Amino acid sequence: MTENKIYMDNAAATRLDEAVFEAMTPCYFENYAVATSEFGYSQGLEARETLAEARAAIASVLGADPEEFIFTSGSTESSNLALKGVAKALGTKKGKHIIVSKIEDFPVLQSARALEKQGFEVDYLNVDDYGFVRLDQLESLLRPDTILVSVQHANHEIGTVQDLGTIGRLCSAKNVLFHTDATHTFTRLPLDVRRIKVDLITVSAHTLHGPKGIGGLYVRRGTPLEKIADGGFQEFNLRAGLENIPGAVGFAKAVSLVTEEENARLKDLRDQLIEQVVAKIPLVTLNGDPQKRTPQNANLSFHHVEGESITLHLDMYGIAVSTGSACFSRSLEASHVMMAIGGDHERAHGSIRFTFGRYNTMEEVDLVVETLAKIVENLRKISPLGKQGGV
């Protein structure tokens, strides 16, 4: 069923790399002991060493020490832990004020809303037309009782990369913790905690050809954080639960496979798609910043057409793309990201997100653009929106 399909949606980055699979396999059949059992016997110690190596390898990419990185079940759990764990640690001590951007992904946004129900006060930062958070607004919102700022490294829909250095400095100057959701940038864009003053970083394996069900959270040494998953004392007593060692090993392997050359190649695919679409299809808007965007993301609005119609028609040609965010594509509501960057409903509903991964090729880009041009032309002919727009 899935042969000859072209994935240019989230799944493009989700296909497991064969080398990751090979790295995970021994953890299933040979080195499968429980890491917390090292007290009793040598296989447990071996398992523990395997886990420690995976942890160290991932932490080092962030410029962090192994003790500053914990494994979780994915980026949703990581962001929940970052927001709620800081709230638990500081809510009764320092204050109940939190700042997040309006265009965060759902784990951050919904964790913030859950905290509001518990009596925390949340300010939602505005963004400009390209999706950059308003730094002047951030500065004016920071208060003595602010405990956390959460701004994503790059947006999951429009790819806009935030200025984490400046945000980190603003937070640090006011002694406020800073969390960033780097789910869509980890290994694709540099992020070094020795240079950027960020205290908590959400990462995940599923965006870089690693396994699903494993993610992580960087926690700068000394950061006040209380665990939210109670049980055993795993992960430096910050996250209870049997260690998913195959997942951790697969995550580390996936991280090791990303190269600068690959990121440059993804950027070429992205730019080729954007340039060709703009050249061949009239009335198209690129959403997000042309330069400061993740190498693997393109987001385009096709005016006078529904994104939903485009995705359904592309599907008939075996091409997978997304409209709206993955979490939200079951709903017909307009994307909160598109609305926050000043898009009207038409631009929001006509937006298509392309995600590039290791297995995409330039030939696929050419084929997708060609197919897209045909589809958009046909849809505009029959669209009531098109007729209203006079196209």
The reply on whether position 311 binds a second copy by CB under 8 A is yes
Residue with tokens 């993610």: 215
The reply on whether position 5 binds a second copy by CB under 8 A is yes
**Phi-psi domain of 339 (left: phi exceeds 0; alpha: psi -120 through 50; beta: other):** alpha
Residue of the chain from 85, 91, 107, 131 that contacts a second copy (CB under 8 A): 107
Site string for a second copy, 348-367 (x = CB under 8 A): --------------------
The reply on whether position 244 binds a second copy by CB under 8 A is yes
What is the separation, in whole angstroms, between the first and last Cα of the chain? Answer: 37
Measured from the CB atom, is 77 or 364 closer to a second copy? 77
Strand partners, 200: 179, 219
The reply on whether position 276 binds a second copy by CB under 8 A is no
Coil, strand, or helix at residue 111? helix
Residues that are catalytic: 327
Q: Which stretch binds a second copy (CB under 8 A): 42-50, 258-266, 270-278, 339-347?
A: 42-50
Amino acid (1-letter code) at residue 92:
T
Residue of the chain from 19, 60, 65, 106 that contacts a second copy (CB under 8 A): 106
Measured from the CB atom, is 289 or 335 closer to a second copy? 335
Residue of the chain from 116, 129, 315, 366 that contacts a second copy (CB under 8 A): 315
- What six digits make up the tokens of 113? 């809303």
Q: Which stretch binds a second copy (CB under 8 A): 29-37, 164-172, 184-192, 295-303?
A: 29-37
DSSP structure class, residue 127: B
Measured from the CB atom, is 160 or 355 closer to a second copy? 355
Strand partners, 355: 297
Q: Which stretch binds a second copy (CB under 8 A): 184-192, 241-249, 278-286, 376-384?
A: 241-249
Q: CA angle, corner 25, sides to 20 and 26, nearest 5? A: 125
**310 φ/ψ angles, rounded to the nearest 5 degrees:** -60, -45
DSSP structure class, residue 70: E
Residue of the chain from 168, 246, 288, 386 that contacts a second copy (CB under 8 A): 246
Residue of the chain from 241, 286, 346, 358 that contacts a second copy (CB under 8 A): 241
Residue of the chain from 46, 139, 306, 377 that contacts a second copy (CB under 8 A): 46
The reply on whether position 56 binds a second copy by CB under 8 A is no
How far is Cα 20 from Cα 31, in angstroms, rounded to an integer? 16
Smallest gap from Cβ 232 to a second copy, in A, equals 3
Cα dist from 347 to 154, 280, 301, 334, 352, whole Å = 21, 19, 6, 9, 10
